[in-house]
Chain A
Amino acid sequence: MDKFVKLIQDVEVLWSKYYPMYLNGVKNTLILALVATVIGFLIGLACGVLNTIPYTKQDPWPKRFLLKLLRGLIRVYVEVFRGTPMVLQAVFIFYGLPYFTDGAVAFRGNSGMWLASIIIVSVNTGAYMAESVRGGIISVDPGQTEGAKAIGMTHVQTMLHVILPQALRNILPQIGNNFIINLKDTSVMFIISFTEFFAAHRYIVGVNNMYFPSATVEMIGYLTMTLAASFLLRLAERIMDGTDHYKLVQEDSLTMTAGTYNHPHRGTPFDERSKEVRERIKQELKFGRSRGDR
């Protein structure tokens, strides 16, 4: 018991002495995670949308070639950035740039460090979001696209007004997931001297060796940030779903008449065909095959 009392005292000492440093770390972590998640989401959105432009054998070959090339490039991007550790990507880009340009181009100073960090975390998030957005688009019922086409909407209009609003709602949990992961994983940016929350810990324990109390501060700090993020996300989802009620605008005067009815068959073959596939993708979106498994 007295150990806990001691720990609380130590934490209090650390906090009163170094709280500006911890808070500055929290601030930088929040900014980096937020900015990089937003940019990463936009990159993922662009990739996902480009990746799902439909083409058929009847299309002219330059269009088909271009779209195939695009899909290939996105594939490579996703595999490379998902397949290597972010800490290594940071080193690679931060030191690679001056190496190749003989120091002519480099991330210099504080702003250079910010820029490098934002680029790396964004591009990394983008690789994960590209798959999420693509999955989100594919998992929307193809009937929605057909309904839109049938009233004369173009592919762009269909995407903008029908598919993306539904796809984005479906992947909102994943966007949140990526934000939470970024809150934690930006800690590897200490490697290029970015002073986020964990860097504050590294500096402070370097001065006074109070490893465990400082780690406790870090744990509490990260947990507070991620719990707050979870809460806000849940709230955003609820707002997006809207209410479950609607108001009848006037009495419904329609009288229903019974009709003759035969029931030869329900559904067509293609209603069923892709349902399982869509369901599987939906499940994958929810649980795993995502950045969350790491």
Chain B
Amino acid sequence: MEDKILEIRHLSKAFGDHQVLRDIDFSVGKGDVTSIIGASGSGKSTLLRCINLLETPTGGEILYHGQPVTGPGVNAAKYRSRVGMVFQSFNLFNNMTVLENCVVGQVKVLKKSKAQALEDAMGYLNQVGMAPYRNAKPRQISGGQKQRVAIARALAMEPEVLLFDEPTSALDPEMVGEVLDVMKALARQGMTMLVVTHEMAFARDVSTRVVFMNQGVICEDGTAEQVLGDPRQPETRDFLARFRNA
């Protein structure tokens, strides 16, 4: 139990009458790379957004190192700084350069000195291969480059877990590889990751675990080999079959 970073218990979320997530139960241990797959509209994004408190769950609980993160008296901002998020649409700060994007959180949230923050930001930008573009504004770089910067920005906060919501779905095909390569390298370094993805090759080769979601519930949850190679649930089989034919 102690090695669990996140535990999600009976989590549910409704938008008005629309029940989007039902009784979601799973946990994330240190070093886990979990891929979440499922059809569009099955609630994958909503699940990640609940975990990062961008949406307020309507039921159940989320424990971070055994402590509940919802409810009164919880410092949501502090918790979020420990759980990074990479978005499908990058969400880089448009008013800042690439470098400033990676510095601002370190200085304002982590209260690091400017010099230290700059040094560390350069380290992470190097890691994702974006250091040469440090002075560019987001509007001046490509989608794949933006996503790599977004990953560097998230890493600069030194999070314990990184959530990825379809990080390559908004990219032109030729840019998908560069982002996946960065993510693979992170996984190899032991980063704990929770990845919503349609990249089955990534799910198969990189993740330690695959969760299949269907209509707001976790339908199947197991090793990548088992869920992708030998799915037990008919829904999972249907999904994977449709996917191969697509």
Interfacial residues, chain A to chain B (CB-CB below 8 A): 56, 58, 60, 141, 143-144, 146-154, 157, 161-162, 165-166, 169, 242, 244, 246-254, 256-269, 271
Residues of A within 8 A of B170 (CB): 266-267
How far does the Cβ of B154 sit from chain A's closest Cβ, in whole Å?
A: 7
Which one, B56, B90, B109, B169, contacts A157 given CB within 8 A?
Answer: B109
Q: Does B198 contact A (CB under 8 A)?
A: yes
Q: Does B87 lie within 8 Å of A259, measured CB to CB?
A: no
Query: Chain B interface: which size bin?
Result: 35 or more
A-B contact pairs, 21 of them (CB 8 A): A141-B94, A143-B90, A146-B91, A147-B150, A150-B154, A151-B81, A152-B77, A244-B140, A246-B133, A246-B137, A247-B135, A252-B129, A256-B177, A256-B178, A259-B176, A259-B201, A260-B176, A267-B170, A268-B45, A268-B88, A271-B89
Q: Does B105 lie within 8 Å of A254, measured CB to CB?
A: no
Residue of B nearest to A257 (CB): B177
Q: Does A260 lie within 8 Å of B77, measured CB to CB?
A: no
Q: A151-B154, A153-B105, A266-B170 are in contact. Are A143 and B135 (CB under 8 A)?
A: no
Q: How far is the CA of A147 from the CA of B199 in the complex (A)?
A: 23
Q: Does A246 lie within 8 Å of B135, measured CB to CB?
A: yes
How far does the Cβ of A47 sit from chain B's closest Cβ, in whole Å?
A: 22
User: Could you list 12 further interchain pairs (A-B, Cβ under 8 angstroms) beyond the known A152-B77, A153-B108?
Assistant: A150-B54, A151-B104, A151-B153, A161-B104, A166-B94, A248-B133, A252-B132, A256-B174, A259-B168, A261-B177, A266-B169, A267-B170
Q: Does B177 lie within 8 Å of A258, measured CB to CB?
A: yes
How far does the Cβ of B203 sit from chain A's closest Cβ, in whole Å?
A: 11
Q: How many inter-chain contacts with C-beta < 8 Å in the A-B complex?
A: 142
Q: Does A157 lie within 8 Å of B108, measured CB to CB?
A: yes
Q: A153-B108, A258-B174 are in contact. Are A253 and B91 (CB under 8 A)?
A: no
Which one, A147, A258, A264, contacts B92 given CB within 8 A?
Answer: A147
Which one, A151, A153, A264, contacts B246 given CB within 8 A?
Answer: A264
How far does the Cβ of B145 sit from chain A's closest Cβ, in whole Å?
A: 10
Q: A151-B157, A152-B78 are in contact. Are A161 and B108 (CB under 8 A)?
A: yes
Q: Does B129 lie within 8 Å of A264, measured CB to CB?
A: no
Q: Does B154 lie within 8 Å of A254, measured CB to CB?
A: no
Residues of B within 8 A of A263 (CB): 169, 173
Q: Does B189 contact A (CB under 8 A)?
A: no
Q: How far is the CA of A144 from the CA of B92 in the complex (A)?
A: 7
How far does the Cβ of A52 sit from chain B's closest Cβ, in whole Å?
A: 17
Q: How far is the CA of A246 from the CA of B133 in the complex (A)?
A: 8
Q: Does B80 lie within 8 Å of A58, measured CB to CB?
A: no
Query: Which of A58, A141, A254, A267 has the most chain B CB within a 10 Å cutoff?
Result: A254
